[in-house]
Structure 1
Amino acid sequence: MHKLLKISWLNVKNAACSKEFLLGIIAAFSYSMLWVFLVHPAQYGLEAYDFEFGRFLYVIILYAAVSIIRNDIRFNTTKTIFTGVFSRIEIMISKGIGLIIWGIIFSVIVEINNVLVSCILHEKIGITGFLELNHLHLFITYIVITFCMGSLMVLIVSIMFSEKKSILFFIVILSMVNFYTAAITTLIGRRPEIAKNFSTYMKTPFYNTVLLMQGQFNMESVLINIEWAVFFCVLSVFIINKREIK
């Protein structure tokens, strides 16, 4: 188990130190500061700024999840990794652990942004607004979101098993789904009576991911996303086990 944890950490560490990831994080903070200095809606509190930052960070989360397997393909180490000392199931478990580690990292990044926003808008938010935010819920939220949507990306890469940039197409599509789902959650929040029209969609990870990102923390959404994550992981393991790796 210790060796699997080490492999998981190395996977994450290598991707986190990449130029693409660092540029993505810089872009995410720049986007957040754009809202703070230029847009700064009068009705926005820390949770609203947190959500806007999270929407941009969501793209980085998907990219980070992709890198967990894509980097193995990209650097031509798949044969060594998937036919080495560890079984394919163990390697895929290490990928799942890597997603959880990513979730912890992203929750820390979000908290850093919250500190910056609170300090810059000290008259409106300040340390009081920062302390009022439920940090445990935020921590759980980003671990669950990264584990769930990251597992979906791992599944997609397991099917494609290619380093081609076409994987970016799926990142764009899922980002668009996330963007437009926010309109649905907002509409349902304002008009609860229409929730029955979206009852099926409300059971998807896309809907519950946005709900959690908006600060509407609830255990049902957490459990739904975990169930989907487990399903995606099991399917990925099955596909990798059946795949011929050259």
Structure 2
Amino acid sequence: MERILKVITLEIKKKRFLKNLIISLFALTCILFLVCVKGGMTRIPSMLLQLVPYIILVIYSVSLTQEFENKTDKIIFTGIFSRNEIMVSKIISCIVTSIICFIFYEIMSIICNTFNGATFFNELHVFLIYAFTLGSFILLVSVITPNAILTGIIGYVMYFDLILALLNQALESSRNEMLKHVILNLPFYIANTGFYIGNYTLHQSIIMISCGILFLGSACVIIYRKNM
């Protein structure tokens, strides 16, 4: 446990992602305040919830590909920490990122007088599941394609506007109930549609966690098979 905590601390410190994340959140909030100054401050938390996933995507894409892009992955993965410990630390750093975003979102909700204590734990649950599933997917992509920009593009294409537009169009135009069932149960559809409204059903949560485990397991298999 002590080794895990140590490698997690190193993972967080070396990327200085906390500073970049907080600066990004503050900058985004300032922009939203300027946009909503005449339209009502109560809109800010909901707008923040729509935009936070993009910040998370960028942070994950940059931080999880750093060793691979800098060609230091052989040093990192053959050092004093096991590959399992390093992979776990990467996912936990993703969860830490999401928790910081969650805290920031709740603070904005309090400031804008939209805070609802009844939904607090449900929203935390959404942020945590989102972090695990998207983080695992980005980690898998970064292991295969060690490039932050390409990893970010793949993550965007698979989870954000483009795929959501295509899947929503398919849901509206298709009469095939089986196809609709498949789409509604895809993690690529569930992730952001659920995040935007701050809610995953139990069924959706199970799908997200299961896919996250699959992505993380696949990334671990690839790392172990790499000749380092």
Q: Verify same fold: TM over 0.5.
A: yes
In structure 2, what is the equivalent of residue 215 of structure 1? 198
Match of 2:61 in 1: 66
Q: Provide the residue aligned with 2:153 in structure 1.
A: 169
Amino acid of the residue matched to residue 86 of structure 2?
I
Q: Deviations over 1:161-219 (max 9, x none)?
A: 235x33332244233247638x949x88xxxx997652111111122222243133421
Tell me if structure 2 keeps the 8 A contact 1:36–1:117.
no
Q: Distance in 2 between matches of 1:53 and 1:70?
A: 26
Aligned residue-pair number: 222
Counterparts of 1:163-202 in structure 2, within 5 Å, are 163=148, 165-173=149-157, 174-177=159-162, 180=165, 184=168, 198-202=180-184
Distance in 2 separating the partners of 1:157 and 1:53: 27
Separation of aligned partners in 2, 1:217 and 1:34: 31
After superposition, the CA RMSD in angstroms is: 3.1
Q: Aligned partner of 2:160: which letter?
A: S
Q: Distance in 1 between matches of 2:200 and 2:28?
A: 23
SS in 1 for 2:110: helix
2:211 pairs with 209, 221, 228, which one? 228
How has the CA–CA distance of structure 1 residues 179 and 208 changed in structure 2, closer, same or farther, with 3 Å as cutoff? Answer: closer
Matches of 2:35 and 2:104, distance apart in 1: 17
Flag the 1:218–1:172 CA change in 2: closer, same or farther, 3 A: closer
> What 5-or-longer segments of structure 2 have no aligned partner?
none
Give the C-alpha shift of residue 134 in structure 1. 0.8
Partners of 2:69 and 2:146 within 8 A in 1:
no
- Report deviation, 1:133: 4.9
Q: Partner residue of 1:56?
A: 51
Distance 1:70 1:102 in 2: 16
5+ residue gaps, structure 1, are 119-128
2:76 to 75, 78, 81: 81
Once the 2 structures are TM-superposed, how far is the Cα of residue 18 of structure 1 from its aligned partner? 4.9
Q: Contact conserved, 2:8 with 2:90, CA < 8 A, in 1?
A: yes
8 Å CA contact 2:134, 2:212 repeated in 1: yes
Distance 1:5 1:152, change over 3 A: same
Letter in 2 for 1:150: G
Amino acid in structure 2 at the alignment position of 1:143: L
TM-score using structure 2 length? 0.81
TM-aligned CA distance change 1:39 to 1:156, over 3 Å: farther
Q: Residue type of the partner of 1:167?
A: T
Structure 2 residue aligned with 1:126: none
* Structure-2 residue corresponding to 1:107: 102
* Percent identity of equivalent pairs: 21
| Other-structure match for 1:16 | 17
Contact 1:103–1:147 (8 Å) recurs in 2: no
TM, length-normalised to structure 1: 0.76
Q: Does 1:7 align with 2:7?
A: yes
- Shift of the alpha carbon at 1:157? 0.4
CA–CA separation in structure 1 for the residues paired with 2:199 and 2:88: 30
Is this contact kept in 1: 2:136–2:215, CA < 8 A?
yes
Q: Is the partner of 1:130 in helix, strand or coil?
A: coil
